[in-house]
Chains A and B, each alone.
Chain A
């Protein structure tokens, strides 16, 4: 058994412990499960692999979770700092390295794997990004923080 697979097994056990120690993990936790193994799938992929949106819909035994994990592992994460900056640049009308905070909120709220307002508030808090007087943020530092990954694990 590879080291990675062993890690995944332990994460499954941890989730199972919290789920009632019955050998099954609720499918709505698939996303979190994968993230705790170090993978970072999109919401769309999570659903494709078998995750559900709501609690109580489906219960997955280890074998199924393992299969989902293997699928998720196969997908390569290809975005680099450069790609990121390019994307932000398109919002940066004045080319000064700033983007309006409101626009970023809108972007996170309306596109991709949408986030709620309170989740966006959290992001601002965790990355310690500050709006200037005109409501803009310097996106370079923000990108750096995000690429750095979540702290402490």
Chain B
């Protein structure tokens, strides 16, 4: 099926979200600022919850609010990510499938991304993620060769740097926003920090296709 590209910004925030709440399952939405049609470019993400993922009210609320924000900022919800608390099992839970289904109703080639906690170590060589796409009402594993992360090594280094500096605690998910509504779930501050650390884009360096070793 279609190609999916995961931006540095989206990956780093997703990864930091999982690191910020290591004892909880966490989830969030994947966004795209590219028009529909062709490859899916995940350009950003919104971290949602770290408590009670299966419960409906806050999830519904978050989906509505993110929808509104997307309309205002010319973005679309193109997918969903989740990291399970139990690292030995990174398969999508019923709640993950449900939310992904809902997203797929509005977005043809929506993706479901599971972060594999078992593969998150300080020196991991490949992105610890598994992607699923919808084929005839079922979510099936995506061919690794269709998933791309540009500037992978740089992305990975940025994530490590933010963890080491403790800046990952800047990340606000929707749950945290509800605990203190002065906190910004669009994460403008963290976005700026990530942009600061990212060098000017160079398409030829460190492109990572999940199915292949890193190209140089």
The answer to whether A and B come from one shared complex is no
A contact set with B: CB distance below 8 Å: none
B contact set with A: CB distance below 8 Å: none
